[in-house]
A = this chain, B = another copy of it.
Amino acid sequence: MFNFLMPTKIITGEFSVLNNSKDLIYGTKAMIVTGKTSGAKSGALSDVIKVLEENNIPYLVYDKIGNNPTIEETLEGGKQAKNFGADFLIGIGGGSPLDATKAIAVYAVNETGTDFDMYDIFDLKFKNKPLPMVAIPTTAGTGSETTPYSILTLHKEKNKRSFASPDVFYKVAFLDGRYTLNLPLQIARNTAVDAMCHLLEGFTNKRSSPASDYIALEGLRIFGKHLETIINGDFDTEKCTELLWAATLGGIVISQTGTTIVHSMGYPLTYYKDIPHGMANGLLLGEYLERTATVLPEKVKNALIMLGFDKLIDFKEYLLKILPCDIKFTKEEFEDWTATTIQAKNVPICPFEVTREDEIEIFNKCLI
């Protein structure tokens, strides 16, 4: 018994935003949500503005989304969308703006007050349907364009929290490799590893199913095709669009399956050590797969075949090569972090048993 849902329309290819204005315009007044620089640098923001202006759609640009967006940033975005009277949102960026857009879509039509506290978003206690949204990813990693998830940083709790609702699937996602072509190489690598984590975690966790496994293998096959490019950086628009598609498949997979401890253990690395999300996951992925291979040897073997590796050790070496990290950690940090990470929702769906001691051992093996 398994389910499948992924209602987002995906439009791929060069100039797809410019050539599909009807799919970009989902209302009469738009707020564009993006990062401080990602929207502009990628070229996506100017394409979007061109289409909106040609079609006389008033718009407001909210470009205050930082890495690992805070709940406050999204609350402020919701207020601005409401004041402006936006009836649809366009999210442009990596995982941070694309996740933030989902929360903004909720807050824009659900004012916080006595009935609805800002933290109630995590329990889906909003009455009004979120604004419709369009996604334009500028990294090939997050998969947020095809997930019902939004992950926000809570400084009070010194961690991240997420909500998941079918109401925050994007209506449309545009995948144009032009927007990821000029990413700094290390960001391209980190985000690629994030997507590979989605595919591998989704393929191996306990919620994997016939509805997600074949999609995961297809995503891994595409990454396998581009392993060298991710090392040496010789991207072109076509390769970038293919990688965007593979990352989107990763989003489709985790929409069905969720992730694993790779993701939940990665969060403190990002929060306390400022390690980019994809890199944080990648540092933990090898050991996760080692342990997974003890319970699901065939699955790990098949995943490696699709990626183009004979042995797990080769993939681990590949990851080390593309994820240079000289940050130092202490055993005390691992003790502290695991108090929280062991409580994550994706611990029980891990393919192998995980105790707090296991998590400490995994941190030790991967980071020291």
Q: Enumerate chain A interface residues (CB-CB to B < 8 A).
A: 1-14, 16, 166, 210-211, 214-215, 218, 242, 245
Contact = CB atoms under 8 A, between A and B. Distances in A.
Given A214-B218, A245-B210, A4 B10 contact: yes
A13 B2 contact: yes
A148 to B, nearest CB: 11
A9 B14 contact: no
A145 B175 CA distance: 27
Contacts of A242: 210
Contact of A1 (B3, B7, B16): B16
A136 to B, nearest CB: 15
A1 B10 contact: no
Secondary structure dominating the interface of A: mixed
A215 B242 CA distance: 17
A3 B12 contact: yes
A117 B366 CA distance: 68
A261 to B, nearest CB: 28
A245 B210 CA distance: 9
Nearest to A4: B10
A3 to B, nearest CB: 5
Contacts of A166: 9
A122 B5 CA distance: 28
Contact of A5 (B1, B2, B9): B9
A14 B10 CA distance: 31
Given A3-B12, A214-B215, 5 more contacts: A2-B12, A3-B10, A4-B9, A7-B7, A210-B245
A197 to B, nearest CB: 20
Contacts of A214: 214-215, 218
Nearest to A14: B1
A6 B255 CA distance: 14
Nearest to A23: B3
A131 to B, nearest CB: 18
Contacts of A10: 3-5, 211
A9 B3 contact: yes
A13 B209 CA distance: 12
A117 B210 CA distance: 44
A215 B211 CA distance: 10
Contacts of A215: 214
A4 B215 CA distance: 14
Nearest to A211: B10
A226 to B, nearest CB: 13
